[in-house]
Structure 1
Amino acid sequence: MSAVPTLSDVAKRAGVSLATVDRVINKRPNVKPRTVERVRQAMADLNYRPDPMAAGLARRKRFRLLFLLPTGTNAFMVDLASQIEGMEAWLAASRASVETVHADVFDPGALAAAIDALDRSADGAAIVALDHPEVRAALDRLAGDGVPFVTLVSDAPASRRERFVGVDNAAAGRTAGALIGRFAAGRKGTAGLLVGSLSLRDHMDRCFGFSQVVMRDYPNLTILPIVETRDDRERAEAAVRDLCAAQPDLVTLYNAGAGNQGVARALAQAEACRPIFVGHELTESSREALREGTFDALLAQNPGHEVRSAARILLAKAMDTSIIAEQERIRIDIFIRENLPF
């Protein structure tokens, strides 16, 4: 017998043909229960573990995954799209392919329509979601049509998703609150708060965590009403200019969404307004703003890790195998100017 048990070893041990072993492993019909038991016992005796990837290759099964990302100027989403393209070779080795489609995630009707338009022959989908009844209904229709999906970056927890792929956003918001409170060092004044949309679950979870810490631990800071920017850099720039003009006591600014390129422009050009700033995601423009001192800290999630995690989870679902939960946990990274990676 070979060092690593093979299908032939199992067949010989069980006293059956290779074809019968294949039928048992792949749960195909027309095998007697006693024969199934003999094959399973032989597998246990030999410590044989089927290779689902090899089984998929043997059946020449091709897997097709879909990623639905937002339209717009969100630099992090551009990075996500680039990472999706970058894993095509890795997926090809598993006889899998990936397609990316885009939709306006800030418009529930448009996003729901885009989800309904997804090809139902796909083996799985990763979707940047909006936590809205219309979107949840579309997501559930997708699952009902036999397409498993994960939510990516922004969650819809009441939907029939397999898993959420992203950071703990409430914890990210609490971290932002703690950083801002400590950087403020007791200065009394107002705290500005930007989001892409009040309907994006990740942004609202961040706001909740941020407010929880600031209101509990930093009474010197008064949180201003939330300003929505639709993750657009021009809107974000205008919002920061308006805050600086209207709030002479603006001590801190937290952007729970995107549009940081616009925030950086507004802060760099403001003469009397220099709030402590904490935002999200390490992109080319936000890295430069942090290096120049316009930003004070950034909380980041690794886009490559996220898209590969989504793909692994969807492929595991398609192959009926398990995942390693710890491998799929997305970390919150904290960057200041002094620890910027090259």
Structure 2
Amino acid sequence: MRPTVHDIAAAAGVSLATVDRVLNQRPGVRHVTRERVENAIREIGYIRDVAAANLAKGRTYPLVFILPASDNSFMHGLNAEVRAAAARSSVERTNIRTLEVPAFDPGALVKVLDELSQERPSGIALVATDAPEVRDAVDRLVKDGIPVVTLVSDLTGSQRHHYAGVDNIAAGRTAARLLGRFLGGARGEIAVLAGSMLVRDHRERLEGFAAVIAAEFPSLSILPVIEGRDDPEMAHMLVADALSKNSGIIGIYSLGAGNRGLIKALKEKAVDRSLTVIAHELTAHTRAALLDGTIDAILNQDAGHEVRSAIRVLKAKADGLSVIDAQERIRLDIFLKDNLP
């Protein structure tokens, strides 16, 4: 039978109230008595159910999600998943709020993180911009005992507690293999549309993509990356310009957002040529483009799973509990027009 607080009290020869004070690290217990209780806990093998204790006390976890203010469909969807989690707050004992910062702006992100350090929430989840000053701000939060989870885009080299997102190098490698196989040995050039090389997920996708193309599809050459800032209008303008000026483009890899602009450019500029297109994130726009043949394959991450994972991890870290790695692994889905959910 699992040891209880009653067993601790009996073994230490103290009251239940004293055991409760020791377990919750409250004052009012003499040093010698505290040692006796702690020895009893070790000897009988008592393991505290922190979640049950917090439920009994009615503890609420104030959590903050920091998202980029961006006009792209994936971030809109991610924001919607955070709002859905906030609507479940009473059941999950959370108090969730969202802060938006300008996309790809390290200074703005650092400012918000430093302000949150004064509020001391139970945890912070952020879509990270990979910059030294952001790493330093995250490390300050962790040093102050505030759990931090990176969401969608990681901040490796920082002390963040967990990353809730897909393996982006594997995603880029997968995109390259799909594109190379679909093109079947054809010779030509590949255009790559990114949001910004300031975010690690875009850099890692490009790294994985370029490695596989160079190693296994030497007939394909990658053009300089187009950075569309995940902005549909900018992406439209830049992709349309590239297609107009370069007739050697036979494939496109869109490794970020801005797919509305990409699709618009393809429909305008590629009607008289055959292009193979791989993109990220299943949205209403990319779904329609899959169905009509404008896009050939979509690599997708489940934004809802990422948000739920971040919440579970932040609550566990706030309680000093371990994380079940297998439960928190975010899978990469591959969608063609034939297997759309």
Give the TM-score, by structure 2 length.
0.92
**Structure 1 residue 317: Cα displacement:** 1.0
- CA distance in structure 2 between the partners assigned to 1:324 and 1:207 by the alignment: 30
Aligned residues: 335
AA of the residue aligned to 2:112: A
Which residue, 45, 54, 57 being the options, matches 1:56?
54
Q: Does structure 1 conserve the Cα–Cα contact (< 8 Å) formed by 2:19 and 2:37?
A: no
| Counterparts in 2 of 1:19 and 1:94: CA distance versus 1, 3 Å | farther
Q: Which residue matches 1:66?
A: 64
1:198 is aligned to 2:200: no
**Structure 1 residue 293: Cα displacement:** 1.1
- SS across alignment from 1:32: helix
Give the TM-score, by structure 1 length.
0.91
**Structure 1 residue 238: Cα displacement:** 1.3
- SS across alignment from 1:103: strand
Q: Does structure 2 conserve the Cα–Cα contact (< 8 Å) formed by 1:120 and 1:145?
A: no
- SS across alignment from 1:339: coil
AA of the residue aligned to 1:332: L
| Counterparts in 2 of 1:273 and 1:237: CA distance versus 1, 3 Å | farther
Q: Does structure 2 conserve the Cα–Cα contact (< 8 Å) formed by 1:166 and 1:330?
A: yes
Within-5 A mapping of 1:1-342: 6-8=4-6, 10-12=8-10, 15-28=13-26, 30=29, 31-42=33-44, 44=45, 49-118=47-116, 120-270=119-269, 271-341=271-341
- CA distance in structure 1 between the partners assigned to 2:70 and 2:166 by the alignment: 22
Unaligned runs of 5+ in 2: none
- CA distance in structure 1 between the partners assigned to 2:316 and 2:70 by the alignment: 31
Q: Does structure 2 conserve the Cα–Cα contact (< 8 Å) formed by 1:189 and 1:222?
A: yes
AA of the residue aligned to 1:220: S
**Structure 1 residue 15: Cα displacement:** 4.5
**Structure 1 residue 5: Cα displacement:** 6.1
Q: Does structure 2 conserve the Cα–Cα contact (< 8 Å) formed by 1:267 and 1:273?
A: no
- SS across alignment from 1:154: coil
- CA distance in structure 2 between the partners assigned to 1:7 and 1:77 by the alignment: 47
Q: Does structure 2 conserve the Cα–Cα contact (< 8 Å) formed by 1:108 and 1:135?
A: yes
AA of the residue aligned to 1:110: A
- CA distance in structure 2 between the partners assigned to 1:332 and 1:37 by the alignment: 47
AA of the residue aligned to 1:181: G
- CA distance in structure 1 between the partners assigned to 2:140 and 2:119 by the alignment: 10
CA RMSD of aligned residues (A): 2.0
- CA distance in structure 1 between the partners assigned to 2:110 and 2:2 by the alignment: 49
Q: Does structure 2 conserve the Cα–Cα contact (< 8 Å) formed by 1:112 and 1:138?
A: yes
| Counterparts in 2 of 1:146 and 1:12: CA distance versus 1, 3 Å | closer
- CA distance in structure 1 between the partners assigned to 2:312 and 2:159 by the alignment: 18
AA of the residue aligned to 1:34: R
AA of the residue aligned to 1:55: A
Which is further off, 102-111 or 296-305? 102-111
- SS across alignment from 1:157: coil
- CA distance in structure 1 between the partners assigned to 2:305 and 2:172 by the alignment: 21
**Structure 1 residue 81: Cα displacement:** 0.9
- CA distance in structure 1 between the partners assigned to 2:334 and 2:9 by the alignment: 54
- SS across alignment from 2:119: coil
Please list the CA deviations of residues 242-264 of structure 1 after superposition, one character each: whole Å capped at 9, or x if unmatched: 12111111111001110111111
- CA distance in structure 2 between the partners assigned to 1:275 and 1:22 by the alignment: 68
Which is further off, 181-190 or 71-80? 71-80
Unaligned runs of 5+ in 1: none
- CA distance in structure 1 between the partners assigned to 2:12 and 2:147 by the alignment: 36
AA of the residue aligned to 1:52: V
**Structure 1 residue 4: Cα displacement:** 7.0
- CA distance in structure 2 between the partners assigned to 1:249 and 1:319 by the alignment: 56
AA of the residue aligned to 2:209: F
Which is further off, 212-221 or 285-294? 285-294
**Structure 1 residue 26: Cα displacement:** 3.2
- CA distance in structure 2 between the partners assigned to 1:18 and 1:287 by the alignment: 60
Which is further off, 124-133 or 26-35? 26-35
| Counterparts in 2 of 1:162 and 1:263: CA distance versus 1, 3 Å | same
**Structure 1 residue 219: Cα displacement:** 0.9
AA of the residue aligned to 1:339: N
Q: Does structure 2 conserve the Cα–Cα contact (< 8 Å) formed by 1:120 and 1:146?
A: no
**Structure 1 residue 323: Cα displacement:** 1.3
- CA distance in structure 2 between the partners assigned to 1:104 and 1:340 by the alignment: 32
- CA distance in structure 2 between the partners assigned to 1:147 and 1:107 by the alignment: 22
**Structure 1 residue 93: Cα displacement:** 2.5
Which is further off, 182-191 or 80-89? 80-89
